[in-house]
Structure 1
Amino acid sequence: MPETGPSGADAPAGPATANTVYHGDNLSALSALPEQSFTLIYVDPPFNTGRKQTRAQRTMVRATEGEGDRTGFQGRAYNTELGTARSYHDTFDDYLSFIEPRLRQAHRLLAEDGTLYVHLDYREVHYVKVLLDEIFGRECFLNELIWAYDYGARAKNRWPAKHDTILVYVKDPKRYHFDSTEVDREPYMAPGLVTPEKRALGKLPTDVWWHTIVSPTGKEKTGYPTQKPEGILRRIISASSRPGDWVLDFFAGSGTTGAVAAKLGRQFVLVDQNPEAIDVMRSRLPESTTYIKA
């Protein structure tokens, strides 16, 4: 593939000439990409929950011109639409054998100033941490981010699980890109203890992020299971890449990484083998996106 990319002496050569989505096995697609192409790689792999992940059919109400099947505020007409169920299987007999070659490809594809974010939960995160220490080296471990949320079922026989873990590794601990000035700031939890100026500015996030999940009735909702909120990806992409940099997500799912990258002026490559994921991305990503059967 032609190699084009952002300007600058340290900018990696681009893996494509345009934003690209590969439909197929990610290991095969990754093997064909040029090394050190990406400043940022974010992946949200299957969590190995042992069950089929399904987002049930959902009913949507859309405003319409003329007559609809229901009437809303100020007599406006609306139509009711039934969405389709989306699903994938999340069961692995040997999870580490599945994920290891893909993480090794991530290491190969990261630029020298690049950063990898691996989004997991309690089931596999500890084993993957040890694996990443082996692949990248323990000195390249940057952060363990905790994304805490408060939604869904509540267990009665144990502490309810209400957080995910995002492991952050860099290619070179002396060269990686991180710009805290580009990150959205948060309100102080004890605003009375800081000056009015600090209260107005807000504080930089720590390694514990409180952020709601994608609202079941919100505008972001695509109906794809495991969809992550744009706010989480916006923080990651803003901090660990620059405008014009290339961003990779090879478990792309609903395409949140690409959607946010495009809004922030980054270029992206996404990979997923689920036809339902590709359908969602076609409706969500910029029209200029190129789709390739991997």
Structure 2
Amino acid sequence: MTAWPPAGDLVVHADNAAYLPTLPGGSFRMIYIDPPFNTGRSRARQTVTVTRSLDGSGDRRGFRGGSYATLKGDLTSYADAFADYWEFLEPRLLQAWRLLTDDGTFYLHLDYREVHYAKVLLDALFGRECFLNEIIWAYDFGGRSTRRWPAKHDTILVYVKDPARYWFDSAEVDREPYMAPGLVTPEKVARGKLPTDVWWHTIVSPTGKEKTGYPTQKPIGLLRRMVAASSAPGDWVLDFFAGSGTLGAAARTLDRRFVCVDDNPQAIETMRRRFADTATYLTAP
């Protein structure tokens, strides 16, 4: 088991499926992941429907000791879909739930291709009562299709470990300008309004100082908002598809401690440049 807590912020070069079980349970108040998953390959396999088994007779074990019955249907040919997604994400999501503190919050960042599968998966595993929000990150950059409505948003699913005691500090969240400032008092205009579940935020500028060169880098403003709301100074936060390390960068600005895990050498090199000597670097088996 990985020594816990580490002496400082930690960047780990490892396969997250192998590394996460080495961390002690209940270590992180906030976990964010932005997993890569959209191979586009067509496959033929059996369809899988997962239902929660209330009497414990299911053949698949789940969170909180629950069990899930697996019903196999006819073979069908389709692009990567639920069965593939379950196989890829389920063991990692099991670890995310285990690693959350009892008042912890989990953020899963996806786009329109996979988010509907993930919502079904998380409802089954965390429990529908643990669903907190569907956040829409809307941006306005890039090409424009003339044959359909251009896709200019991502979806972030938010689940909590315990709906009766999760941490959420709205006082620490950054404020936004009112869209109709003439309809509110000058005091409210000066303070700004709390964000809703639709976040308008530009992407990382291709020519800005924030850009690291990593292809899937997310803007630090998004991660700062999540970290500020769902953790407190001194807390540990985790991203096990870390990429360019934006969660770690946001955590540093808010006095949180972080663990960033990725198996891509390019990601590790990007984080080395981004964090320099302020983090410890570990290569795990």
- Contact conserved, 2:85 with 2:117, CA < 8 A, in 1? no
- Structure 1 position 219 matched with structure 2 position 176: no
CA deviations on 1:119-158 (whole Å, 9 max, x unpaired) are: 0000110110111111110000000000000000111111
- Structure 1 position 39 matched with structure 2 position 36: no
Q: How does 1:62-73 map onto structure 2 within 5 Å?
A: none
* 1:210 maps to which of 200, 204, 208: 200
Secondary structure at 2:278 match in 1:
coil
- Structure 1 position 237 matched with structure 2 position 219: no
The CA distance in 2 between the partners of 1:2 and 1:162, in whole Å, is 42
* 1:253 maps to which of 238, 243, 251: 243
* 2:259 maps to which of 244, 258, 269: 269
The CA distance in 2 between the partners of 1:203 and 1:250, in whole Å, is 32
- Contact conserved, 1:47 with 1:123, CA < 8 A, in 2? no
- Structure 1 position 99 matched with structure 2 position 84: no
- Contact conserved, 1:38 with 1:248, CA < 8 A, in 2? yes
Letter in structure 2 aligned against 1:196: P
Residue in structure 1 matched with residue 10 of structure 2 by the alignment: 20
- Structure 1 position 228 matched with structure 2 position 218: yes
Q: How does 1:1-294 map onto structure 2 within 5 Å?
A: 1-3=2-4, 14=5, 16-48=6-38, 50=40, 94-294=84-284
Give the alignment's Cα RMSD to 1 decimal: 1.5
Letter in structure 2 aligned against 1:211: H
User: Between the two proteins, what is the percent identity of the paired residues?
Assistant: 70
The CA distance in 2 between the partners of 1:29 and 1:50, in whole Å, is 27
CA deviations on 1:44-78 (whole Å, 9 max, x unpaired) are: 00141639xxxxxxxxxxxxxxxxxxxxxxxxxxx
Structure 1 residue 286: Cα displacement: 5.0
| TM-score, scaled relative to structure 1 | 0.80
- Contact conserved, 1:49 with 1:123, CA < 8 A, in 2? no
Runs of 4+ in structure 1 off by over 2 angstroms are none
Structure 1 residue 92: Cα displacement: 6.1
Secondary structure at 1:268 match in 2:
strand
The CA distance in 2 between the partners of 1:21 and 1:92, in whole Å, is 31
Structure 1 residue 96: Cα displacement: 2.4
- Contact conserved, 2:35 with 2:110, CA < 8 A, in 1? yes
The CA distance in 1 between the partners of 2:26 and 2:86, in whole Å, is 24
| TM-score, scaled relative to structure 2 | 0.83
For structure 2, the residue ranges without an aligned partner over 5 or more in a row are: 42-78
